[in-house]
Every structure is written in structure tokens, then in C-alpha cells.
Structure 1
Amino acid sequence: MTDSADGRVEPVVAAALGRAVLLGRALLTVATAAAGLAVADDHPYRLVVLITVLIVASAVQVAVLTRWPRVVSHPVAILAAEAALLVAVLALSRGGVPYFVHAAGSAALAGVLLGAAAWPLWAAQAAQGFAVCVTILRETAPDAAVAVYLIAAPVAGVLAGLTAALGARALARQMRLNLQRVAIAQRDAAALERARLARELHDSVAKTLRGMSLAAVALPGSVRRQPALAEQLAGAISEGAAAASLQARELLEGLRLDSPDEALDVTLDRLCGRFSARTGIDTSAHVHVADLPVPVRYELTRIAHEALTNIERHANAHRVTVTLALTRRGRAVTLTVRDDGDGFTLPGDLLTLQDLGHHGIVGMAERARTIGGSIEVVTRPGRGTSVHVSVPLAGSTT
């Protein structure tokens, strides 16, 4: 989106503004002509012809700008047709109010198409308007108040053109800034997506592959001298390959869990629906948040998925509820996954769970920390488990 030094704007913007000017001018000019028709006492056919010409010409102009907006890149032809139409309006209205209204609209259209470079046209239209005013004053000799308003009409046309030029340029600048903001947001989203994928790969597949690489380096030297060790290393490589394949599959499934283009409630409903269909556990989602920043909604979706996976493996639950809501002041979002399963005795340090081979809660806590959040697990043997995740928000979300 660009605008030139003389105020001309990008063709698509100019075409849209031009259509608005043409429609407004047609409405006002036809209205004044119709008002004149209501009070005309001689030769009303001129005003009927004027109204017909205005309606047909405006319809053609708007249709052209709608179908071929790039035509505004050649304003000379458009303004030449405008000049001919203005002369026709002058002849049919005999210098009445419809003429001055139409002239102001023509000046505005020139301002949209040419910007400040339309000043010679504004000057010519003002000179024509003053000539019409002089003729009317000589023929009708109106009172002083009417004469003042009549002489001000050509000046109003110039002001209309200047206002349209400034407005078009301001709109083009605003649209350019909006496009820049959208481009920046898209780049930021892409950077966040790359960083998220890199972190996921580093935390899972990359570590496994690194271990496989070390085992593979040690394997050739152990084949002859330490066959037992070589056998262990080969087994480690095989197990590592299987683990890497599983981690890659889980990573891909996790990336597909959340689509930023999809409503958050739809995402969690689908997640709970698939879990319920696979396990037979009655599962429901209650989402009271319209949307969240992409990194936040992604990590919360992954946490919900991991919590459901833990329930499937360990809880023996019959009912699960997943709730996502804002705090009262909208400063944080909370995710709660609650089940009515067996529960367990929670150690004082969550890392103890990792030592026992239970990595799910530890992984959920790590994900919560990546988005500035915290996790709380409430459980007792025989009383079910509740996982609460709270994440502060930079601004309120409705």
C-alpha cells in the first residue's frame, strides 16, 4: 500500500473511495433535482431528463469502478467524462443547486484520483462556478443573503476536493500501517511456531538421537573386544530408534492437537470426544474463554492431552471433566482436569514422580512454566485427582 508525494493513493483504495463519492454525489444531486421538480412551474421535463442522466451515468461509473478498479490508474479519461457530465448537468439544471452539488462531487472525485495534483481542475471548476454565479446574479438579482450563499458554492467545491484528497491519503496511510501490523504479527507467529517446534524436538527426539549416536560411536570398538557390551549397545540403538519413532509420532500428533484457526472450544471438545471414544470414559469439556494467544492455547491443549493420557493409564476413572476459564478479573486463565478415579499419594517433590518413572505430571509442569504458568495437583487415594494449571495473561481476553 503506497501513496505518492502528490497524494495519489493505491488504485484499489482510490476505486473504493471513488465509488463512495459517486454514490453520495448521485444521491444528493438527484435529491436536489427532485426537490426542484416538485416546485418547478415551467419546463419540468429538463429536471426529469437530468435525474435520468444522473442515475444512468452514476450506475455506469460505479459498475466500471467495481469491475475494473485499476481504471483509476488512468484518471484523465475518467475526469474527461466527468467534465462532459458536469457540462450536461449545467445545461439541464441551468446553473441551479444540482449543478453546484454535482460540481462539488466532481471535485471530490478528482481529489481521490489525483490528490493535491487536482488543484488545476479545482481552479477551473471554481472559475466555471463563479461565472455561473455572475450570470445568475445578473439575471435574477437575488437579495444579499442569497447572493452570499451563491458565491460561496464554488469555494465549497474546492474544499470538498481538498477534503477528499486529504481523506484518501490518510486512509491509504492507515491501511498501509494495518498491513504492516498484520505482516509483523504473521512473522511473530511463524517465529513462535518455529521456536515451539525446536523446543519440542530438543526435549524429545533430539535427546534420544544423541544417545543413539553415542552408542553407535562406541559400537565398532566393542564388537571384537567386548561382545557383551556390543550386544548391549546394539540393543540400546534399537530401543532408541523405536523410542525416537514413537516420540516423533507423538510430537506430530501433539502439533495437530491445536489449530490456531479453530475455535478453542471446538479443539477441546474434539480432544475429549476422541478420548471418550477410545477409553469409554464419560468425558466433557467446559470452555469459557473465546480465544487465547497461540503459545498459551497450544501448551494448555498439550497439558490437557497429557492429563487425559495419565487418567487412561493409571486412574481407573469413570468420569472426567476438562474446564478452561478466566479468573474473575481476566488476568489469568485456568485449566482444570478432574477425574473420579483411584487417586494416589502425591510426594512433596514432583521430581520424585520422575524417578519412579511417572513423567506425565513433570512434563505438564514443564509445559506450564514455558508459558509463565504454574501447576497444582490435588489428589488422595480413592478420591480422584484434579490438575489445576494457571497461566497469567498479558491483557484481558474475552
Structure 2
Amino acid sequence: MDHQPEPDDRSWVRAFHRGYAVLWVLFGLCPPAVAVLDRSSGTRSWTLALLAVLGVAYGAVRGFRGRPALRPPAYLGMLIAGQGALSYLLNGGAALFVASLPQFWIYARTPRSAIAASGAAAAAAVAGGALRDGLATGNAAVTVLAYAISVLVGLLVHRIAADAAARTDRLGVELADAQQRLALAHQRQGAADERERMAREIHDTVAQGLASIVVLAEAARAGLTAAPEQSARHLLAIERTARDNLAEARVLVGAAPDHHAAEPIARTLRRTLDRFAEDTGLTVDSDLPDLECDQATRITLLRCTQESLANVRKHAVASTVSVVLAPHADGIDLEITDDGRGFVVAGARGFGLDGMRKRLADIGGDLTVTSAPGEGTRILATIPTSEQV
């Protein structure tokens, strides 16, 4: 309340000003207009003209569509002068003064200027009436009392508004600080998630490829003298694996498009299984129907297959591997089984299985691992369709 309010889009502010304008006309302008009807024609004419000027000035300071045509200091000066003139014409003007008191707090720039302006209006009202009937009148007493009450109420309301503004500022600072901390936390979490994603990609592609190269290189070296043709095949497999790893590394750093995304998942898995069978000599049975799936599902199926085959190569000591891709109404199942030595699932620790679980969880899927010592291993990856995710 210590400055002229700027145009505000809040409906309650506009409603307040409209409501007060109606009350000011009814209780500020109408009583003097009614009281002067039985006075002389000169007094009546001057009074009605003065009330009309004040009404027009009030409309001008309120403005049209938020654009005031009269500056608040000029209007308050007119209101003070009009208050004194009206008190002189009617031998008092307490009704207009009381109804106009809020305007001094609305349009004055500071509480001090509001107190000074409303005090000047009170003095003008008392002086105007005193010129006719002296100071000892009911209008003078009401004017002085109303002024004193308005000062107390105005200061109280200004203090409440200032406290509310201070609280708002503090809350704004706290909110900005919380938003900054939250953004920093999101940034850190995003960086951690990206590191984990890159670690999974490297583990499932480059690291697995390098492990295959090591195994093939050892086999090739061991057969240089006894089985040179087999060593040649191993060297060819090393070259092929290295090229594939180079392509995967380029995909990871964004230097090349993902070649797996452009072909059906069944063809990609068949090529992966053929390469595995050629490198390991294991029997691989597969049932891979052609099916449509999005890129995220395609990549997840491929990575789960690669990780499962890598585990078979490193740990299972198996002779046969079976891979079945089964679409159904709720999604897609990928089942990979081997007849190897198995393991205790509850005691399994490793980045590979955790990586598969997280990959599947990212697209709403689930991983089930079934195994026991001497009974082989069954990996079941379940991926819902996009409608179920």
C-alpha cells in the first residue's frame, strides 16, 4: 500500500478496486449530493459541480484499461482541495473524508506521504467547516477521529504487507536455492547414469569382444605348429571380431550409426549365434522368428544374447546352447539355455547379470535366471510391448 499499484492481472485486485469505487460513490459522493438538495441554488450548483469534478478525477486516476490519465499526486491534491471546499459549502464533509481515506494509502508513494496527505485532507475538512460553524462540531470530531484510526489501520496493514513481502522474498530465495540444488543433483545423477550406461555398453560390446580375441589368440598360438589351418581360422575370427569391436566403439562415441538398428532382430541374432558357434565349436540351436520391435527392444535383446553367450563361453563348460525368441500377446520372451555346469543363482556376483537386469528394467522388462550346479542354466528375458510399458 505504499505506492501506486501497477496494472495487475489478478482478478481479486481488479474486483477490489471496482468494489471500492462503487462504495466511494455511494458513501462518499451521494450523501453530500443528497444533503445539498434543500440548500440555495448557488450552494447546490457549486456542490454538485465539485462532486462531479472529484468523480471525473477519480475515474481519470484509475485510468482506462489500466492506463491512468491523471497522476496520483495531482489527484490527491485535488481531493484535498475538494474536501476543504465541500466542508465549507456544507458546513462539514465527514462522509466524503471517511470514504476517501483508503485512497491516500492506495495512491501515495510511502506511508509517510499517505499520513501527510490524509492529514492535510483532515485539516482542510476541519478548516472548511470551522469557517462557518467553528471547530466544536460533530463533523470536526468525526474527521479527527477517522484520521487517527486510518493512520493506525494504515500502518498496521502496511506492516503486514511488508512482512508478507519479506516472507515472499525469503521463500523466493529458498525456492531458487532448492531449485539450484535440485538441478545440481539431477546433473550429478545424470552423469552417474550416463557413466553406468557407458560401462554397460563397453562391457557388453568392446570388453566381450576383447575377451573373445584373447581366447582366439591363445587357441591360434597353441595350434600354429600342430594345426595351422585351425590357427588360420582363429586368426580370421580375431580379425573379424576386432573389426566388429571397432564398429561398436564408433557407435559408442557417436562417430557412426548403429548398424544393428537397420536390420530385423532375428537376422542380427542369427549372425551373432553363427559367429559364436564358429568361434567356440559348440552346438547352437535356435528358433528366431521374424518379428517387429522398436530400436530399444532390438538393442536390449541383442545385448542380453551377447552377454549370455559370453557367460557360456567363460563359465558354463557347455556343449549345446539353445536360443528361442518368442513373441506373444503381452510382449517378447528371449530364452537362452545351456547344458553346462550351472551355478548357485543366489550367490552369483557379476557385472553381466546386473547389467542385463538394468537394461531390461529401463524398458519395463524383467530377467529370470534359473540354474543349479550340474543342471545347466536358463536365462529368460521378458520384454513387454510398448502398450504395456
TM-score, structure 2 as length reference: 0.49
Higher Rg: 2
Q: Relative CO higher for 1 or 2, CA cutoff 8 Å, sep ≥ 6?
A: 1
TM-score, structure 1 as length reference: 0.48
